[in-house]
Each structure stands twice: as structure tokens, then as C-alpha cells.
């Protein structure tokens, strides 16, 4: 008899999220988890060092007010419109339980962030998927039906395709009776944030992370911005789960990262420039590349199997992400690395394709 006999029925039915691999290979070119190739702001690192003192014997501020104020100031909103959590994944988890667990099914794309159906399983949330168009874009008209909420990333993941802000506003105008959640993990690399719309639409909630554009994936900080009533729902869930999701170091480092706009702008521009150069080089090799406003690209080659290409790259210590899923099994998701990493990728692909 196995120990799983002690599992609850919920646990028995779960299909957990599978995070991107973190392999330990020598001279690895790691282009599989969309981490920023550039380090965090020096100001953020200094703030973390300064917070590493005797105060660690004390609990952090459960409200993380310093960080909420920094985020609110940056986005031109009030701190009452900001909720913070231990990475955007925790923020999303609270959203699924606190706002999306409704009588009607929620809607999200058939190709999207694979944690969404996992949360639905964990919290017993009914859902329906909405097919992307043949070009992998989101058609907001397809969401014009009764629902318990709508959620999708913008830019979408793993495709990287952006949706114009005007289309999000059109969706909000036609869907006033349920919450619309826009997951903006990658928005700083060329997308348009919906945060300016929260004052106009009380059912809009926007989620962001400091893991990507602010190079703080190891610190675990995310936030949601929306009407105070939506924020209060998340605070109620958080304070029924873990009153202290952000430690003193995370609060200090994240707040400092928002204050260093110059470094943020510089690194985002560098990633965007590398992305556009990489897209051009991949197209020259015969790859089809979907439009991207993220720090990754989604590509396929008409004459080469994606899984075999990923394995061939791995043999050369280059790791990219391959999804064995319907419609996208011939695509590779490639993180935009440094120019040197991108050059190594192109050199390896030339060898693979010529073989």
C-alpha cells in the first residue's frame, strides 16, 4: 500500500504545473525560462544588502506599504489599488480563488500560460478554453459570451503575441459583469499596459511580475493593480493564507528596482534590440517567427522537427523550451539572451540545419 492513500481527493486529481528545467550543465546557454540576461538594478542589490541586518529578527510589514507606494508612484495610481504577493504566480492563485471561482466557467485561450488550468484544478474552478486564431492571435469577439471571468496574458505566453490596448478596452466594454484579468508578465518588452484603464473599468485587474523586466526572478515579487474592491478580495484571501508573503529583503529590493527607471529602461531596450536582431537571423535561416512583444520568441521551421531540433541544441549545451501540446508541438520558445548567447544559438542552428 502506498502513502498516497493519505491524499485528499483534490490532490489525487491534480495535474501540477511543470516549471522550466533548471539544468546543471557546463557552459550552458540557458534560453528556456525567460529569465532576463541582465542582472538586477545595482540600486536594488544595494537595498537588499542594506536590509540584511538585525531587523531580520522581526516580521516584515504584512502590508508591504513601502513597495505598494513605489509601484503606485511608478504607475500613477494609489497604493489602495495595489496588491503584492510572492511572485505573480501567488497573486494569480489568490485571484483564481478570490475572484474567478464563480458559478459560470471562466474563459482563457487554448494556448496560454499552462498554470491557468492547474489553478482551476486546485480550486475547483470551471473553465472553457477559447481557440486562438490561425495566426495565434487572441480575438476578443470570441469572448462575448456568458462567463465567470476572463484571463489571458498580454503579450500571450508562450506565443509572445501582443494584443493592442484598444482591443482590451473593447473586451472590457462588452464584459462588464465579470472580472477581466490581464496577466502582463512580459508587457515591458514592447506591449501596452492596461493599468491606465483600471480607473475607468472597476472589473479590470492587471497582474505584473518583477521576475522578467526587472531581473528579480530569484526574489519572487509580483503585484496586481485594480479597483480597491478587487484588491480587498485578494487581501482577504492573502490574510487567510499567509500574512507575510514578502520578506524584508524582497520589499526593499523590489521598491528600489522601481525607483531605478534609468537601469530598467536601458536593459529593456537592450533585450528588445537583441530580440529584433535574433528574429531577423532566424528568418534568414528559414524559421517562421510569430510577432513578439516579450523577452522570448516562438518559432518553427517548415523542414525540421521541433523536438529533434531542441534535442540537437541540448547536445550543444543550449536549452530552449519545447511544448508537446496540440497546435504548437512544432514550435520552440526561445528566450532572448545576451547577444553572445544569441550568436551561439544561431551558430548551433546553422550546424543543425545543414546536417
Q: Is 224 found in the same domain as 102? A: yes
Cell (9 digits) for 281: 537571423
Q: Is 177 found in the same domain as 49? A: yes
pTM above 0.75, yes or no: yes
Write out the residue range of the structural domain in which residue 125 sits.
42-261
Q: Is 275 found in the same domain as 192? A: no
Stretch among 14-18, 47-51, 248-252, 272-276 having the lowest mean pLDDT: 14-18
Q: Is 221 found in the same domain as 270? A: no
pLDDT at residue 158 tops 70: yes
CATH of the domain at 204: 3.40.640.10
Q: Is 136 found in the same domain as 86? A: yes
Number of domains the chain contains: 2
| Last-in-domain residue among 261, 290, 306 | 261
Q: Give, as one character, the DSSP assignment of residue 41.
A: P
127-130/106-109 β-pairing: parallel
pLDDT at residue 31 tops 60: yes
Q: Is 218 found in the same domain as 135? A: yes
Length of the chain: 355
| Coil, helix or strand at residue 100 | coil
Q: Is 315 found in the same domain as 231? A: no
| Last-in-domain residue among 261, 293, 319 | 261
Q: Is 239 found in the same domain as 305? A: no
CATH of the domain at 270: 3.90.1150.10
- What would the pLDDT profile of 278-290 be if each residue is shown by its tens digit? 999 999 999 999 9
| Last-in-domain residue among 237, 261, 285 | 261
Q: Is 209 found in the same domain as 151? A: yes
What is the chain's mean pLDDT, rounded? Answer: 96
Exposed e or buried b per residue across 74-91, where buried means at least 16 C-beta atoms within 10 angstroms of its C-beta = ebebebebbbbbbbbbbb
d(CA 192, CA 169): 12
Q: Is 282 found in the same domain as 209? A: no
Q: Is 240 found in the same domain as 138? A: yes
- What would the pLDDT profile of 69-112 be if each residue is shown by its tens digit? 999 999 999 999 999 999 999 999 999 999 999 999 999 999 99
d(CA 156, CA 94): 21
d(CA 265, CA 275): 15
pLDDT of residue 140: 98
Q: Given phi > 0 = left and psi -120 to 50 = alpha, else beta, which region is 229?
A: alpha
127-130/82-85 β-pairing: unpaired
d(CA 109, CA 276): 26
pLDDT at residue 1 tops 80: no
Q: Is 234 found in the same domain as 105? A: yes
d(CA 105, CA 273): 40
Amino acid at each position: 500500500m502506498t502513502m498516497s492513500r493519505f491524499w485528499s481527493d483534490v490532490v489525487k486529481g491534480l495535474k501540477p504545473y511543470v516549471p522550466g528545467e533548471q539544468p546543471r550543465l557546463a557552459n550552458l546557454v540557458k534560453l528556456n525560462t525567460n529569465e532576463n540576461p541582465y542582472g538586477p538594478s545595482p540600486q536594488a542589490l544595494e537595498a537588499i544588502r542594506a536590509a540584511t541586518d538585525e531587523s531580520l529578527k522581526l516580521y516584515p510589514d504584512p502590508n508591504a506599504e513601502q513597495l505598494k507606494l513605489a509601484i503606485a508612484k511608478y504607475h500613477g495610481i494609489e497604493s489602495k489599488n495595489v496588491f503584492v504577493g510572492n511572485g505573480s504566480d501567488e497573486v494569480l492563485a489568490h485571484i483564481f480563488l478570490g475572484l474567478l471561482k464563480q458559478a459560470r466557467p471562466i474563459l482563457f485561450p487554448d494556448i496560454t500560460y499552462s498554470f491557468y488550468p492547474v489553478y482551476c484544478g486546485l480550486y475547483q474552478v470551471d473553465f472553457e478554453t477559447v481557440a486562438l486564431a490561425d495566426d495565434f492571435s487572441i480575438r476578443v469577439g470570441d469572448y462575448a459570451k456568458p462567463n465567470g471571468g476572463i484571463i489571458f496574458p498580454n503579450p500571450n505566453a508562450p506565443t509572445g503575441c501582443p494584443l493592442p490596448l484598444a482591443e482590451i478596452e473593447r473586451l472590457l466594454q462588452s464584459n462588464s459583469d465579470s472580472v477581466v484579468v490581464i496577466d502582463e508578465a512580459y508587457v515591458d518588452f514592447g506591449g501596452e499596459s492596461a493599468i491606465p484603464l483600471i480607473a475607468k473599468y472597476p472589473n479590470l485587474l492587471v497582474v505584473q511580475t518583477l521576475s522578467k523586466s526587472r531581473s528579480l526572478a530569484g526574489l519572487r515579487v509580483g503585484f496586481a493593480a485594480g479597483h480597491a474592491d478587487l484588491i480587498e478580495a485578494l487581501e482577504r484571501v492573502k490574510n487567510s493564507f499567509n500574512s507575510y508573503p514578502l520578506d524584508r529583503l524582497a520589499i526593499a529590493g523590489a521598491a528600489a528596482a522601481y525607483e531605478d527607471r534609468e537601469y530598467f529602461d536601458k536593459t529593456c531596450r537592450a533585450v528588445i534590440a537583441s530580440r529584433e536582431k535574433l528574429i531577423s537571423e532566424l528568418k534568414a535561416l528559414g524559421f517562421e517567427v510569430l510577432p513578439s512583444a516579450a523577452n522570448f520568441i516562438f518559432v518553427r521551421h517548415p523542414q525540421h522537427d521541433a523536438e529533434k531540433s531542441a534535442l540537437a541544441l541540448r547536445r550543444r549545451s543550449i536549452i530552449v523550451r519545447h511544448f508537446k501540446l496540440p497546435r504548437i508541438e512544432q514550435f520552440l520558445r526561445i528566450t532572448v539572451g545576451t547577444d553572445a548567447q544569441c550568436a551561439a544559438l544561431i551558430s548551433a542552428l546553422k550546424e543543425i540545419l545543414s546536417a
